[in-house]
C-alpha cells in the first residue's frame, strides 16, 4: 500500500509543472512545453487507470468502462465546441 501511495504522489507531482505553466502563461520553449505537458498527460493517464481499477471494487465494471471512455473523449468534444 505504501508503494502505491508513493507512485500516486509521483504521478501527481509529474502534473504540477504543466499546471504551473498553464496557470502562469509562461512559455519558456516549445521543447520544455512538450516535455512538461507530455509527462502531465502520461501521469494523468496513470491516475485515471488506477482510479478505474480501484472503483471496480465498488461499482460495476461496465459503468466504470463507460465513465473512463467518456472522460477520454471529452477533450475532443471540447475542441470541437471551441
* Alpha-helical segments (H) within 1-82: 2-24, 30-55, 61-81
Domain spans of the chain? Answer: 2-81
Predicted confidence (pLDDT) at residue 76 exceeds the cutoff of 70:
yes
| Farthest CA pair distance, the chain | 45
* Range 47-71 average pLDDT: 87
**For the chain, what is the mean pLDDT?**
88
Which residue in this structure is represented by grid cell 465513465?
67
The separation between the first and the last C-alpha atoms of the chain, rounded to the nearest angstrom, is: 42
- Residue whose C-alpha is closest to residue 50's, from 3, 81, 32: 3
Higher pLDDT, 20 or 75: 20
Structure confidence at residue 82 as a pLDDT band (50, 70, 90): low
Amino acid at each position: 500500500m505504501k508503494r502505491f501511495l508513493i507512485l500516486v504522489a509521483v504521478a501527481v507531482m509529474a502534473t504540477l509543472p504543466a499546471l504551473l505553466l498553464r496557470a502562469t502563461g509562461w512559455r519558456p520553449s516549445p521543447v520544455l512545453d512538450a516535455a512538461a505537458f507530455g509527462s502531465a498527460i502520461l501521469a494523468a493517464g496513470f491516475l485515471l487507470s488506477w482510479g478505474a481499477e480501484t472503483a471496480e471494487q465498488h461499482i460495476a465494471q461496465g459503468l466504470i468502462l463507460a465513465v473512463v471512455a467518456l472522460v477520454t473523449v471529452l477533450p475532443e468534444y471540447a475542441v470541437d465546441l471551441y
